Amino acid sequence: MGPPMNPVAGPGLVGVSDERTARSDEVDDVAGVAERTQPAPGTTAAVQAEALVKHYGGRSGTVEAVRGVDLRVEAGEIFGFLGPNGAGKSTTVRMLTTLLSITSGTARVAGVDVAREPDAARRRIGVALQEAGLDPRQTGRELLVLQGRLFGLSVHEASERAGQLLALVELEDAADRRIKGYSGGMKRRLDLASALVHEPDVLFLDEPTTGLDPVSRLTVWEELQRINGRGTTVFLTTQYLEEADHLCDRLAIIDGGLIVREGTPAQLKADLRERRGLGSDPTLDDVFLDATGRTRDRVAGDVQEVSA
C-alpha cells in the first residue's frame, strides 16, 4: 500500500506585525523544510497537464466536467487556480492529486505521471482540502507525529518533525491541547502543518482561508509565503480574488471546463484595460468577470451582485 493522501488544510500570510516578522526569521532556522534552489523556467515543471479531460457518465448522458486543460506551473511559484462554481476547478485539482481518475490526457506533478505512478506522486505532494482531516480527540502534536509515522519516519524523527512544524505555524503553545478546543484559524494552520510533514515538492491548497476572519486569513498568507520562500511550489484555489492578487505569481481562470485566461495578475489587468480602453486600472474581480462572461452592476447603496 502506498503512503496516505494528506487531507490537510493550511493557512499563512504576510507580516502582521514586526514581532511576527522577527519570529518568522527565528522559525526559519528550525523549520526543517529542505532548502531548494528554484529552477529557471524551461526546466521540469512542478505541475504540467496536457489536454486533461474528465467525463462523468450518468442517466442523463455524459457530463464533460473538464474538456481539455493545459497547465504548466514552474517550480517555486505560487500559482492561483480560479473559477466559478461548477467550472471544473475542483475536478482538475482532484485529478492532479490522484484523488480522481483521468478520462484522457496526461498530468505530471514533480515530474511524476499521476495516472501511472499515483503512489510516487503522493510522496511528492501535500494536499489541504476544504474540510480539514483532523481528529478532535488528538492533540496537535499527536496528529503530526502520527502523520510522520504514516510517512515512514521513526518515532524520534516524527517527534522532531512535529516540533519543527508546530514552530513553523506558531502553534507551540497549543501543541498539547486537544484539537477540539482549537479555533478555526488554528485548525487551518495545523492542517497546513500536516500537509508539510513529508516535505512535499508541491503543496495543493483548496480554498485554505474560506470562513476565516481577516486576522486569521493574514496569518495563513504569512505561512504560505514563508513556506513558498523555502522552495515549495504552491497550487492554490481560492474564491477570494484579493487573495489571489496578493499571493500569486501567476494564475489561471477556468470556466466551462476550459482555461479562459492565464498570466500574472498584473498582465491580466493590463490586458483588460488596454482591450477595453479603460480610463483606470481594473481589479482582478473585473478580469474574472470578463473572462467568465459575468457582469456586475454597481448601483450606489445596493448590494453588488454577480450574474450570468
Nearest Cα neighbor of 95 from 50, 61, 40 is 50
Per-residue pLDDT reduced to its tens digit, 47-71: 999 999 999 887 888 889 999 999 9
Q: At what angle do helices 184-195 and 214-229 cross, to 10 degrees?
A: 20
pLDDT of amino acid 253:
97
pLDDT digits over 78-100, tens only?
Answer: 999 999 988 999 999 999 999 99
Which residues lie closer than 8 Å to 16 by C-beta, 6 or more apart?
A: 215, 218, 219, 222
pLDDT value at 294 more than 70 = yes
Write down the pLDDT at residue 223. Answer: 85
Q: Is the pLDDT of residue 228 over 80?
A: yes
Confidence check: pLDDT of 299 > 50: no
pLDDT at 101: 95
Q: Is 37 a residue whose pLDDT tops 60?
A: no
pLDDT band at 214 (very low <50, low <70, confident <90, very high): confident
Q: Model's pTM, two decimal places?
A: 0.77
Task: State pLDDT tens for residues 152-190.
Answer: 999 999 999 999 999 988 899 999 999 999 988 888 889
> CA angle 19-22-24, nearest 5°?
110
Query: Is residue 297 very low, low, confident or very high in pLDDT (cuts 50, 70, 90)?
Result: low
- At 241 the pLDDT is 93
What's the pLDDT band for 15 if we cut at 50, 70, 90? Answer: very low
Q: Residue 289 pLDDT more than 90?
A: yes
- How high is the pLDDT of residue 131? 65
Of the listed ranges 16-25, 121-130, 281-290, the least confidently predicted one is: 16-25
pLDDT given for residue 38 in this prediction: 42
What Å distances lie between residue 217 and 84, 176, 182, 207, 209, CA to CA?
Answer: 21, 24, 16, 11, 6
CA distance 132 to 2: 21
Q: Which domains, from first to last, does the chain contain?
A: 18-263 (3.40.50.300), 265-308 (no CATH)
In the numeric block, which cell numbers belong to residue 77?
511559484
pLDDT tens per residue, range 242-278 = 999 999 999 999 999 999 999 999 999 999 999 999 9
Identify the residue whose cell numbers are 482532484: 94
Digit-coded pLDDT (tens) for 113-158? 999 999 999 999 999 877 667 889 999 999 999 999 999 999 999 9
Per-residue model confidence (pLDDT) at position 25: 44
| Run of H or E including 262 | strand 258-263
The confidence score (pLDDT) of residue 60 equals 82
